[in-house]
Amino acid sequence: MRVAIGGVLFASALGMASAANAAVTVTGTFDGTEATMNGRLFRDGTASTCSPTKAYPGISGAGSARAYRTDTVYNNGPAQCVTVAFDVGTCGTNVHLVAYAGSFNPADLSQNFIGDVGSSSSQSFSFTAPADSAIVIMAQDNNGVAARCTYSFTSTELFPTPVLSPTAIPTLSQWGMIIMSAMLGLAAFGAIRRNDRS
């Protein structure tokens, strides 16, 4: 857990996000019930890297419905280069992974694009994850035949759940301090009177 006191950030040992305890493995299944989008991301054969960053490769197959599914993972810390290892599983070349910062918009595949696996094979790709952010990993059906197959991906830098953002502890206003002092004074006065009577 992280809290801010007087503008200074403190973190407890139990809730502190670190690379040592980050790890996420996701297994995804296409079962024929997925949402669809118009076309799919173009597979240009180049896996994204952190430097240089990869430009959005464009759309392929516009006008044809392509199934997709999404999973959200989290970067619980400063901006960093992260690597996602993709295993095509039983989907083979029918599935392709794409990473988005914050959210995925199926009506605009360029929005929030930060990287992709390049070609639909079991390999890794990297991208820069913004600080304290959700990363949406979108798996797209490339050929309209991905139904009933399973794939997976892993990352040692990302988390399956978010860490709460730092929260400022509220401070008492001047009037709040005066009221609290008066209440403490009354409590002390009552305690003294009880002692005098005994």
Specify the pLDDT at position 74. Answer: 97
Q: What is the DSSP letter of 132?
A: T
Q: 85 forms bridges with which residues in the sheet?
A: 124, 154
| Backbone phi and psi for residue 54, each to the nearest 5 degrees, phi listed first | -90, 135
Specify the pLDDT at position 171. Answer: 65
- Could you tell me the end-to-end alpha-carbon distance of the chain, in angstroms, rounded to an integer? 47
Q: From the first residue on, what is the mean pLDDT of each consecutive set of 10 residues in the chain (198 residues)?
A: 39 44 88 94 97 96 93 96 97 96 97 97 97 97 84 96 68 72 76 68
- In this structure, CATH architecture of domain 18-162: Sandwich (2.60)
**Nearest to residue 156, comparing CAs of 25, 26, 53?**
25
Q: Which sign, positive or negative, has the C-alpha torsion 36, 39, 41, 44?
A: positive
Which residues lie closer than 8 Å to 193 by C-beta, 6 or more apart?
Answer: none
Residue ranges per structural domain of the chain? 18-162
Torsion of CA 94, 99, 105, 108, to 10 degrees: -80
